Amino acid sequence: MMLIYHNPRCSKSRAACALIAEKGLAVEVVEYLNTPPSREELQGLLAMLGMKPLELVRKGEDVFKEHYAGRSLSDEQWLDALLAHPILIERPIIVRGAKAVLARPTEKLLDFLEC
């Protein structure tokens, strides 16, 4: 069973869901704006992705531009920002077992599914 952190308003996220459905794979969908990950979940996702919190931040969002642009924050502070403003979490994130991928571009998901 796979898990996808999904935003239905995001075209990349919808494309990832469609690709998974096309492959006939079972997936649990987490609309993370409605059900944000906990600090522990987010830390686990970052570990599986091999990323630092700043690498997962959507820098085009208004909340980023208004509150965080140009600021130098620690990993813990960026983690706090992601938890306070889940819209800043880049998507879609797909988890399968102990592995995860940020499926941007969608082709990364194809590689992930072949593993």
Rounded Cα gap, residues 113 and 101, in angstroms: 10
115 is catalytic: no
Q: pLDDT tens digits, residue range 58-90?
A: 999 999 999 999 999 999 999 999 999 999 999
Q: Which two tokens stand for residue 2?
A: 């796979």
Domain range spanning residue 54?
2-114
Q: Which two tokens stand for residue 102?
A: 């940020």
The total number of structural domains that make up the chain: 1
CA distances from 14 to 19, 62, 84, 89 (A): 9, 22, 24, 16
Q: Assign residue 95 the CATH number of its domain.
A: 3.40.30.10
Catalytic residue among 10, 48, 51, 113: 10
The pTM is what? 0.92
